[in-house]
Amino acid sequence: MISLAGVVTASALLIALAGCAADAPVSVDSTPVAGGTLTYATGFGEPTCLDPHVGGNMPQALVGTNVLESLFSQDESGAIVPWLASGATVSEDGLTVDVALNEGISFTDGTPFDADAVVANITHMKDPNTASSTAILALGKVTSVEAVDPLTARFTLSEPDSALQESLAQTWLAMESPAGLARGMDANCEAPIGTGPFVFSEWVKQDHVTLTRNEAYNSAPAGAAHSGPAYLDTIEWRFIPDTATRFAALQSGQVDVIDEMQPDNVVAAASSDQFDVLTGALPGASIRLELNSGYAPFDDERVRKAFIASADVNPGIESLFFGTVDRSYSVLSTSTPYGASFEDDYAIDTDKANTLLDEAGWTSRDSDGTRMKDGERLVVDFPISTNQSIPAEQSLFEQIQATTKEVGFDVELHPLDLSSWYAALGSWDFDVTSAIYTKNSPDVLRILYHSDNIIPAPSGYHPNNAHVSIPELDALLTEAGETSDAAVREKDYAAAQKLLADGAYVLPLYDHLQKIGYSTTVQGLTLLPTLQIPYFGDTWVQG
Amino acid sequence: MAGRVGVRVLGGVFVLWAAATLTFFGLRLIPGDPAQAILGGPGSQASAEALAAVRAEYGLDQSIWVQYVQYLGRLITGDLGSSYSLRMPVAEVIGAQIGGTLLLAALSLAVAWAIALGLATWSTRGGRVAGAVASGLEIVAAAVPHFWLATVLVLVFSTTLRWLPAVSTPGPAGLVLPVVTLALPLAGFLGQVMRESVLDALASPFVVSARARGETESGVRWRHVLRHGALPGIALSGWAFGWLISGAVVVETIFARPGLGRTLLNAVQLRDVPLVIGVVLVVALGYVLMTVLTDAASRLADPRLAQPGATGRRVADPVLTPSGGSR
């Protein structure tokens, strides 16, 4: 027979023990531990070339940032901070920029980092045979670069460029070993050589890239928690295209860090004590609908305004994204300076939409309720890139389809793979679309809405998908892109965004979020503000 | 005999030519520019010079018919060309990826056979209820799409129970979920045809006479009925190979497993024409070889097929319906 007293004592003991366990810190040791492997699973896809000068997309920047470093970095406010360069001096006329380089840095093949290396890199990016798209566009105003002395690289420009240092902070314009570049494109694509905390040591195509620690690392960006070599021995960079598998791999401990999380996974991970979520708004444009104003029916401002007044997106954002994103009323991302919000221009008003459509001549309706004008139905072609729009976003587009139907639009959604989608955009074969544009500068507005960028590149690509052509806007964007006066930039960008909102060319939806999920055993993980890319120079894994 | 082999070889060559031709023109009909695949993927802002240089280098500035003839010419000499997106010879890419896919397909086929045979044997012994249960299971299994089954298996066995890895690993544990995903629906198809054929065989005169000779129940089943039951399964296995490869596209993507299926998907999305055709040719070749193999296996299982003058198709029919009215 067990005595009652015994049971009570035992219970008290258990409760006390439980109390102790709960009170103890969740064993977070703030002392970094050197060694270990971290497995990162990306959903952004596998680069076809690890050298981000070639082409220049997000998968390359993600895996490359911890190997290939840039001249500058940015802090959380978007301000330029030193990295491989300590600063820049801009001449009075804005046409000469002297970049001062830090001393004592070497590429991991032993080649010294100096002004000659900068010249070799910029020459490589501008060489047509490199087939750069992002870097060459960012260097559009740079006519030449020369080494004034070993630690000074002089950039000569055709026009002043207020975004030059921001451009140089992007991984797509990272510095690579000139000796590595000289190996030729195939060898350099396999394993470009940088100055970063890690080195590309192996690439098993369609499986993983292995990064190993650079023992001689001494060039951490401003804002890093420590200088000197990284803590991790290796990073295994895996390509896991399926979002559900990626999250399951994190949950089952197969991988330590994942990106491209879906909203429901973000909520599940954030509410668990085993996982944490790191989010950051990608700089550049917000995620937004671009209305093709160059062709019917959206060449009529009234029809554009009717579409925006009837496209009710807020309920969809609330129900489909589980509170993981906030509605945006700005064409610029919240992480990009000079963003301006115009909430009133995007208010829902069905009566106004109906009136506008009546005024525009879309007066009769067919049996489906779609408005008609001169025998034409009010059809809105909406190609969707399934690579860029996550499932929740595609559902949101369906809700937009439903709410605009009430006033008589027939929105036809066409989910397309990336090549077909770009082909549709290139031939202006769309009325509305959603296109991502990541750039760490408000100068993104010039790229997206200057009338010059209606003209397609030789590949057919044109960034100005809304077909915006307003001389006043062009002048504002050009001036803002050239001036180094912050007050003028602010005034110009505000006026430019007001013109876009008034003309109903764009419907902002929300920020494009980088959503990184990680196990709580991973410590010291941060996002580099420039492109919101994970930085592993300060990261360690608890045993 | 030599004539038959000749016809087979010619048929195989025709299949390969047709596969290469359809793929070649199919890829040109869908939107997207192969020159972009070479210059950093869709949406690149490559310069006019770079595009012109690439088009000239790869012959993309020629008319499509010239390109087609040149491509066929290279294929005949055994040159599969170079992948635009991976910057490697196509033969090398396929060599690196084919092992994983063949292992996956072979294991899935074996597991599907085991399940189908087990189900057919059990259900034909267990009376009406067992037959109905088996039939229901088979229909459900055959109807389940790979992507759904894979996601459910991951949720149950990786996320919840933590028994098996979600992402395929090199070891045997990493193969379990991909193999089960491919094998279950296939077992449904195989099981349906085999069970019917076993039932037919059990009711046929030769079983009655075997029993009359004093053959034991297991002897009847293993020596006589199984052979008959397996015949349509063997015939289906050639088709199953192609079906498994198409399933591998989904399964390799979901379980992040390297292989031909994932290679093919990426290549199509990037409009990497040489790589797509290379993979399609290899799969078509595998399909041709599997057809020959299943033909040979049918002959082993059914000695009547090996008799002079017999051709596979004509004799297979009476075997499938030995006693139509008995059920």
Which residues make Cβ contacts (< 8 Å) with residue B125, sequence separation at least 6? Answer: none
Number of Cβ within a 10 Å radius of residue A364: 12
- Read off the amino acid at residue B111: V
- In sequence order, which residues have a C-beta less than 8 Å from that of residue A201 and are 6 or more positions away? A191, A210, A211, A212, A234
CATH of the domain at A340: 3.10.105.10
CB contact under 8 A, B256 and A239: yes
Residue A61 shares a structural domain with residue A184: yes
* Alpha helices, H only, B30-63: 34-38, 48-57
Instruction: Give the A:B interface size as CB pairs under 8 Å.
Output: 148
Written as six digits, the tokens of A219 are 């060039």
Rounded-to-integer distance, Cα A49 and Cα A259, Å? 20
pLDDT higher than threshold 60 for residue A12: no
**Cβ pair A419:B31 closer than 8 A:** yes
Residue B43 confidence (pLDDT): 64
Query: Is the torsion defined by CA of A27, A33, A35, A41 positive or negative?
Result: positive
Residues of chain A found within 8 Å of residue B169, distances taken between Cβ atoms: 254
Question: Which among B143, B106, B135 has a CA at the least distance from the CA of B119?
Answer: B135
pLDDT of amino acid B319: 39
Identify whether residues A272 and A308 lie together within a single domain.
Answer: no
Domain that holds residue A72: 10-281+514-541
Q: Could A48 and B151 be called an inter-chain contact, meaning their C-beta atoms sit closer than 8 Å?
A: no
* pLDDT (0 to 100) of residue A3: 41
B276-307 residue pLDDT tens: 999 999 988 888 888 888 888 888 877 776 66
CA distances from B49 to B28, B41, B72 (A): 23, 17, 28
Please tell me what DSSP assigns to residue A130. G
* CATH code of the domain in which A250 resides: 3.40.190.10
Residue numbers of B between 19 and 38 with CB closer than 8 Å to A: 30-33, 35-38
> Hey, are the CB atoms on B159 and A49 less than 8 Å from each other?
no
Q: Are residues A225 and A343 in the same domain?
A: no
The region, left, alpha or beta by phi > 0 then psi within -120 to 50, assigned to residue B7 is alpha
The stretch A526-539 carries a mean pLDDT of 94
Does residue A236 sit in the same domain as residue A269? Answer: yes
In a shared domain, residues A149 and A250:
yes
Q: In chain A, which among 455-474 make CB contacts under 8 A with chain B? A: 457-461
Residue B43, chain A, CB below 8 Å: the answer is yes
Q: What is the model's pLDDT at position A11?
A: 40
Q: Which residues pair with A38 in a beta bridge?
A: A235
CA distance linking residue A37 with residue A30, whole number of Å: 18
A100 and A239 share a domain? yes
* Mutate: best of A39, A46, A48, A452, partner B, most B CBs <10 A: A48
Choose the closest CB to B36 out of A56, A129, A459: A459
- List C-alpha distances in Å: B53 to A108, B68, B81: 33, 20, 18
B30/A420 touch (CB, cutoff 8 Å), yes or no: yes
Do A334 and A411 sit in the same domain of this protein? yes
pLDDT digits (tens, 9 = 90+) for A232-272: 999 999 999 888 889 999 998 899 999 999 999 999 998 99
B214-249 pLDDT per residue, tens: 878 777 777 778 777 788 888 888 888 888 988 999
Contact of B264 with chain A, judged by CB distance below 8 Å, is answered with: no
- Supply φ then ψ for residue B300, to 5 degrees: -65, -40
Q: Output the average pLDDT for chain A.
A: 90
Q: Does B288 touch chain A (CB under 8 A)?
A: no
Q: Is ipTM > 0.85 here?
A: no
* pLDDT of A83 over the 70 cut: yes
B254: β partners: none
Confidence band, pLDDT 50/70/90 cuts, at residue A23: very low
Q: Which residue has the higher pLDDT, B41 or A350?
A: A350
Q: Are A43 and A513 in contact (CB under 8 A)?
A: no
Same domain, A331 and A239: no
Q: Do A240 and B47 touch (CB under 8 A)?
A: no
DSSP calls for A161-201: -TTHHHHHTSGGG----HHHHTT-HHHHHH----SSSEEEE
Structure confidence by residue, pLDDT tens digits, A379-438: 999 999 988 888 899 999 999 999 999 999 999 999 998 888 988 998 899 999 998 888
- Asked if A458 and B51 come within 8 Å (Cβ–Cβ), the reply is yes
A488-527 per-position pLDDT tens digit = 999 999 999 999 999 999 999 999 999 999 999 999 999 9
Asked if B270 reaches chain A (Cβ–Cβ under 8 Å), the answer is yes
State whether residue A244 sits within 8 Å of chain B by CB. Answer: yes
Q: Which residue of B has its CA nearest to A42?
A: B256
Q: Is residue A3 included in any domain, yes or no?
A: no
Please give the structure tokens belonging to residue A291: 């209305």
Q: Using CB atoms within 10 Å of the CB of residue B66, give its burial: 0 to 12 exposed, 13 to 18 middle, 19+ buried.
A: exposed
Are A386 and A262 in a shared domain? no
Q: Residue A1 falls within a domain, yes or no?
A: no
Instruction: Give me the amino acid identity at A396.
Output: L
Number of independent structural domains in chain A: 2
At the topology level, CATH places domain B91-305 in MetI-like fold (1.10.3720)
- A206, B159: Cβ pair inside 8 Å? no
| A126-175 tens-digit pLDDT | 998 888 888 888 898 999 999 999 999 999 999 999 899 999 999 999 99
Residues A465 and A528 in one domain: no
Question: What pLDDT is stored for residue B166 in this prediction?
Answer: 84
Least confident window among A232-246, A358-372, B3-17, B271-285: B3-17
Residues A275, A365 share a domain: no
In terms of domains, do A365 and A503 share one?
Answer: yes
Residue spans in chain B of domains classed CATH 1.10.3720.10: 91-305
Residue A95 lies in a domain: yes
